[in-house]
Amino acid sequence: MSMPHRRKVHEIAAGTLVQRDPDGPYFMTAEREGKEYVHHYLVRLHPRPASEAETTVVYLDPEEDLLDHGAPPPLDMGPVAGAARPACGDLFANAHGTFFMVRDTPRSQKHFAFVNTSSGMFSRREDRAVERVHADWALDLSGL
């Protein structure tokens, strides 16, 4: 992967690996279509959230600067878990793709959010018809 560059949030594509600080945690950018504009968020990837509360997506000002790594996060899915339903913080797959199950922002009326790992876009009700759950996923840091 190339060296990260500072860019404004609104200039970074959803689903991109970013950091706020060079020595800080790694995140994936995520977007949700609003009625009048796009809402930007961060999904924490590394270090892995230690509690469900730490899986809450972080709302971003579109003018905030982030370190853009210029590529999607290299995810190691890990083994398939025995659980049929994902827990908050898990990755899971269904017919529509692979998703992170995270806590939504406190202002949201929904408790959980589902973020597509390929597009970085929020989706609704993706926890139905789950095909596999990956509870032990990780960000592959070998190329960073």
pLDDT of the residue at 124:
87
Sequence ranges of the domains in the chain: 5-68, 75-143
Q: What is the pLDDT along the chain (144 residues), one digit of tens a residue?
A: 668 999 999 999 999 999 999 999 999 999 999 888 899 999 999 999 888 888 999 999 999 999 999 999 999 999 998 778 999 999 999 999 999 999 997 766 668 999 999 999 999 889 888 999 999 999 999 988
- Determine whether domain 5-68 maps to CATH 2.30.30: yes
Please name which of 9, 54, 25, 6 lies closest in space to residue 144, comparing C-alpha atoms: 25
Q: Which pair of structure tokens corresponds to residue 103?
A: 């806590």
What pTM was estimated for this model as a whole?
0.93
pLDDT of the residue at 128:
85
